[in-house]
Amino acid sequence: MSYHILIVDDEAKIASTLTKGFEQAGMITSVISNGLTAKASNLEGVDLVILDWMLPEISGLDILHYWRKNKITTPVIMFTAKNQVKDKVLALETGADDYIAKFFEWDELLARIRALLRRSTTQLREVNQIIIQGEVLPIILNRQMGYFTYNQQIIDLTDTEYKILKYFLDNPNRIINQTSLIRALWERETNPFSNVIERHIKSIRKKLPYDPITTHRGLGYRLKA
């Protein structure tokens, strides 16, 4: 498997050295030299980012803060000449997955990258996906964090909506009636003939980028997964 490494660094010589080394190691690389361009990047398809701290117009730390605030979870190694403990702590607390000084040993950098990529790949295997045939991107459930994402952005569901969609995901391609849903998610005394499920599913459909739930009149609902 060829991993895609994004290098964000305004020093052409360093970016060229990293590119050459990564490509020799069998990785795909791309380079961004401007901070604002990096901040606006989608990161879809990028497996790991080497992020310089000192960039034109906006710092790497501010970019990292923006990505993490917007729930972009792509692994990031902060790459900088700053080498004091307080700088490392600040980068890690902002959301960096690792930190390495520009005066680095090549074997160490590759080892850190491969460790992060292994960890990231393992986590992705543990994530359940709702994939609709014909759609480019999946809706993804992150069970550990407790949210759904699309295109690396969190879908703003209420707690009840999250539980309903998760229940569908746990029972894919099965027709589930309203009574089963209510009894699985609420107390027994809830009226199974109320329209509470219908209202929640209507709200879920409005919030999703596409609709994975089909209605089977008189029977219930089915998640196409």
Backbone angles phi and psi of 80, in degrees to 5: -160, 160
Instruction: Compute the Cα dihedral for 204, 208, 213, 215 and give only its sign.
Output: positive
Which class is 4-126 in CATH? Answer: alpha beta
Give the pLDDT confidence score for residue 174 in this predicted structure: 85
pLDDT band at residue 122 under the 50/70/90 scheme? low
Contact of 171 with 180, CB cutoff 8 Å = no
Q: Give per-residue burial for 41-77: e unless 16+ CB within 10 Å, then b.
A: bebeebbbbbbbbebeeebbbebbeebeeeebbbbbb
* Level-2 CATH architecture, domain 129-223: Orthogonal Bundle (1.10)
What's the whole-model pTM score?
0.56
Query: Same fold for the domain at 4-126 and the one at 129-223?
Result: no
Per-residue DSSP letter, 3: P
Contact of 73 with 152, CB cutoff 8 Å = yes
pLDDT tens column, 24-60: 999 999 999 999 999 988 787 888 999 999 998 899 9
Contact of 212 with 223, CB cutoff 8 Å = yes
Asked if the model's pLDDT at residue 114 lies above 70, the reply is: yes
Q: Residue 5 forms beta bridges with which residues?
A: 29, 48
For residues 170-188, average pLDDT? 79
Instruction: Compute the Cα dihedral for 56, 62, 66, 68 and give only its sign.
Output: positive
Per-residue DSSP letter, 65: H
CB atoms within 10 A of CB 222: 18
Give the pLDDT confidence score for residue 188 in this predicted structure: 54
Give the list of residues 6+ apart from residue 210 with CB closer than 8 angstroms, or none: 132, 135
Q: Where are the domains of the chain?
A: 4-126, 129-223
